[in-house]
Structure 1
Amino acid sequence: MFLRRPTKEVGTLPQWRLMWRQFRRHRLAMAGAAILIPVYFVAIFAEFFAPMSSSTANTSMTYAPPQVVRYSGEHGLHVYGYTTERDATTYAQTYTEDPTQVIEVGLFVHGDEYKLLGLIPSDIHLIGPVTKGEQFFLLGSDENGRDLLSRLIHGARVSLSIGLVGVAASFLLGMLIGGISGYFGGGVDNVVQRVIEFLMAIPTLPLWMALSAALPTDWGPLTRYFAITVLLSLIGWTGLARDVRGRFLSLREEDFVTAARLDGVGRLSIIFRHMIPSFASHIIASLSLAIPAMILGETSLSFLGLGLQAPAVSWGVLLEGAQNVRVVANAPWLLAPGVAVVVVVVAMNFFGDGLRDAADPYGSAGRARRKKPFWRGRAGRRASATINTATGR
């Protein structure tokens, strides 16, 4: 009697598991995710992570340089205060570190009051001076003596969320208009594509400037925020619409679409229940690559004074104070929001590239995965030796 050898059970992995496996192999994408996740977490809980409120000002400490955090057994974490001198001729204020002014720094300290997520009242900050109101500028201060680090953290919430909200709105427009254009074709497709080509032919920055300049100047910061988001969305949907249209043109003749049509399924149901899910991974990758463009658009408009304006705080608004070359030469820390924009945008591009490769493993990106050339592997050497034996070379 022969015992049958047990066989391993063979199964198939879901698509998201396959995408995750492919995504983990992309080291730059993993590095981008490692940067973006903490940045968005800090932006969500900005009030807690910021040492003080974005509007707290010390007018006697304008353009104060960054302070260095030190540690000693006597004082623990601390920074030194500054003594100031003003030049009688140029009226320039200079700062000198004063070791006699020891400012103790602590974690989870009491500071400016706030409402976490607009709901939970608190005054606990992750880091800050133990005594409320003392000088504390880890990244220096601006022209009004406000802590640049606190404003940078508060501005991250606006700059990063405007990309998500804008992409969500452009996603709806791109999917709807691109799907209709690709599914129906004919005259509808011609009209839609001409409109898209017209919008894409207009220079982006001048168009943003014209639309932003048309906004009423008496609008509040929140109203202006939503208006800028809508303007960016009205322009950013064209690229996604063309991608969706191309996919629909190739899918509308597939067997599953024909079967659904013969089964009496409605057109909208075919589009949203059958065609769109078949390339959902490609849409996710396209959206991740569109977010950096939205962030750069808001930053550019605010930097030029046409987007968000004070008292709203965003990275573009903060960079508006760094337009003067003389000011930047004396206070280079004012360029910190620009560094933050570059880091986040590059990380998002790496993250989007990883999603694209994971979503399309059989495309050009998937074929370009690192593999040993054929002639360097064991099979290649064996085949080469066989060829040499047969030819006598």
Structure 2
Amino acid sequence: MTVSLPPSGAPLNHYVSTAPFDPHSVEAMTAGQAKIFQASQLRLMWWKFKKHRVALASGIFLLVLYMMIVIAEFLAPYNLHTRNMDFIHAPPQRVRLFHEGQLVGPFVYGRTMTLDMDTLRRVYADDKTNVQRLRFFCSGDPYKFWGIWEASTHLVCPAKDGEFFALGTDRLGRDVLSRIIYGARISLTIGLIGIAVSFTLGIVIGGIAGYHGGVIDLVVQRIIEVLQSIPSIPLWMALAAIMPVSWSPILVYLGITVILGLLDWTGLARAVRSKLLALREEDYVLAAQLMGAKSSRIIGRHLVPGFMSHLIASATITIPGMILGETALSFLGLGLRPPITSWGILLTEARSVSVIAFYPWLLYPMIPVILVILAFNFLGDGLRDAADPYK
């Protein structure tokens, strides 16, 4: 190691500062260090989250899905209730680009149907002389956009006097793809509404128990233990079964969301309680108490924001459970009822083994359920790692 000495006659303090070195001083940092030092907590979380490639891809996938449900009527090739009686239990049609070696564009072949007299099943075959080109941004089945505005524009439509069933049809000749798109609106939003109920109860009850402690904490913990000891699905079934049959589909939808929210707040309440038990001993909490702040203000304005990142990560893990809960209830016939359509209701078409054996495409609504559950879990893992200050 070599040390450069100042020229003869030059003062030493010209080269060396007599002020003590402050490692936290921005001037003493490189540009990259200063950028990290001055960044907010949300920006630091975003930088860490971007490194989790699977979680980032899952977040983009879920964002696209939630944007799609806003325009579900436009994306679906058919209206939700359109029946094609000539194509009952028709298998999926393959979209093709080339016909006899020539580029035709996206098209499907027409269908011919014969009845198998031995099994009484409809047998469909492609008619390769009937080329039906798909139309885009076209006029098709009329619908009410969000039940308000009359419209008939679709992203893709079958050819004039043709048919297009990318995922086949059900027992009433309804397009499975269109019903999956419509069902996404219910299945995806029921988790958001349910998590709002769950978070409100979890933060309020868990916050009161953790901040005050004592008898209140003891009572809350015993209630949580009793609720968590009851199996979830039988409890869901019991509460769903007591809803009056005369209720409208909208009231049933709201009732299911409230039930899912009421039964899912216990885990969050325990997490909030444990955090507040540790944070309530901090100096800033004592300062707020000495200044006369109420308990609700201390919890809501000072304590809860301190672990909001943890709550966000918990939400992304809780939502899939609510989606699965609604799917299970609807599949068992105790959840939503037609004319409301969800992925669980669509899966009721595939209850028997014989139906699955003959018409396996009726299980396709299970695919978006699996993908959404996996995406939410990957997203939750990424958010949890990004929110952890020790990683």
Q: TM-score, normalised by structure 2?
A: 0.89
Q: Quick check: 1:30 aligned with 2:56?
A: yes
Please state if 1:359 is matched with 2:387: yes
The whole-number CA distance in structure 2 between the counterparts of 1:20 and 1:115 is 39
Q: For 1:74 and 1:34, how far apart are their aligned partners in 2? A: 33
Is 2:85 aligned against 1:59? yes
> Secondary structure of the equivalent of 1:216?
coil
| Mapping of residues 254-265 of structure 1, within 5 Å | 254-265=282-293
Residue number in structure 2 paired with 1:325: 353
Letter in 1 for 2:216: V
Letter paired with 1:154 = Y
Show the 5 A alignment for 1:298-317.
298-317=326-345
Per-residue deviation, 1:75: 4.6
Report % sequence identity: 50
Structure 2 residue 157 is matched with structure 1 residue 92: no
Q: Is the 8 A contact 1:109 1:130 kept in 2?
A: no
Among candidates 187, 191, 199, match of residue 219 of structure 2: 191
Distance 2:74 2:222 in 1: 49
1:127 equivalent to 2:156? Answer yes
How far residue 222 of structure 1 moved from its aligned partner, in angstroms, is: 1.1
Paired amino acid for 2:137 = F
Find the aligned partners of 1:76 and 1:275 in 2 and give their Cα distance: 59
SS of residue matched to 2:134: strand
Quick one: distance in 1 between partners of 2:274 and 2:199? 16
Amino acid at match of 1:31: A
Secondary structure at the counterpart of residue 123 of structure 2:
strand
**Cα deviations across residues 118-140 of structure 1 (Å, max 9, x unaligned)?**
44432111111142x63210000
Aligned length: 362
The C-alpha deviation readout for 1:303-344, integer Å capped at 9, x for no partner, is 111101222110000001011111111111111111110111
How many angstroms does 1:183 deviate by? Answer: 0.7
Matched, 1:101 2:130: yes
Say yes or no: does 1:18 pair with 2:44: yes
| Further displaced range: 30-39 or 293-302 | 30-39
Bigger-Rg structure (1/2): 2
How many Å separate the matches in 1 of 2:315 and 2:103?
Answer: 52
Q: Residues 284-299 of structure 1: matches in 2 within 5 Å? A: 284-299=312-327
Matched, 1:343 2:382: no
Counterpart for residue 42 of structure 1? 68
User: Which amino acid in 2 is paired with 1:80?
Assistant: Y
Secondary structure at the residue paired with 1:59?
A: coil
2:238 — aligned with what?
A: 210
Structure 1 unpaired stretches of 5+: 367-393
Number of the residue aligned with 1:245:
273
**CA distance, structure 2, for counterparts of residue 105 and residue 191 of structure 1:** 63
Distance 2:236 2:110 in 1: 44
Q: Contact conserved, 1:104 with 1:130, CA < 8 A, in 2?
A: yes
In 2, the alpha carbon distance for the partners of 1:3 and 1:75 equals 77
**Aligned AA for 1:236?**
D
Q: CA deviation at 1:168?
A: 0.8
Question: Does the CA-based 8 Å contact 1:196-1:238 persist in structure 2?
Answer: yes
- Distance, in Å, in 2 between the alignment partners of 1:32 and 1:21 is 16
1:374 is matched with none
Partner of 2:264: 236
Q: Read off the aligned partner of 2:186 and give its amino acid letter.
A: V
AA of the residue aligned to 1:70: R
Coordinate RMSD, CA, aligned:
1.9
- Measured after TM superposition, the shift of residue 293 of structure 1 is 0.3
2-structure distance, mates of 1:311, 1:59: 19
Which residue of structure 2 lines up, in the alignment, with residue 377 of structure 1?
none
Equivalent position amino acid for 1:55 in 2: H
- Structure 2 unaligned spans of 5+: 1-9, 17-25
The answer to whether the 8 Å contact 1:65/1:331 transfers is yes
Which of 157, 182, 198 is residue 170 of structure 1 equivalent to? 198
Q: Which amino acid aligns with 1:129?
A: P
State how far apart, in whole Å, the 1-side matches of 2:280 and 2:178 are: 52
> Aligned partners of 1:76 and 1:290: how far apart in 2?
43
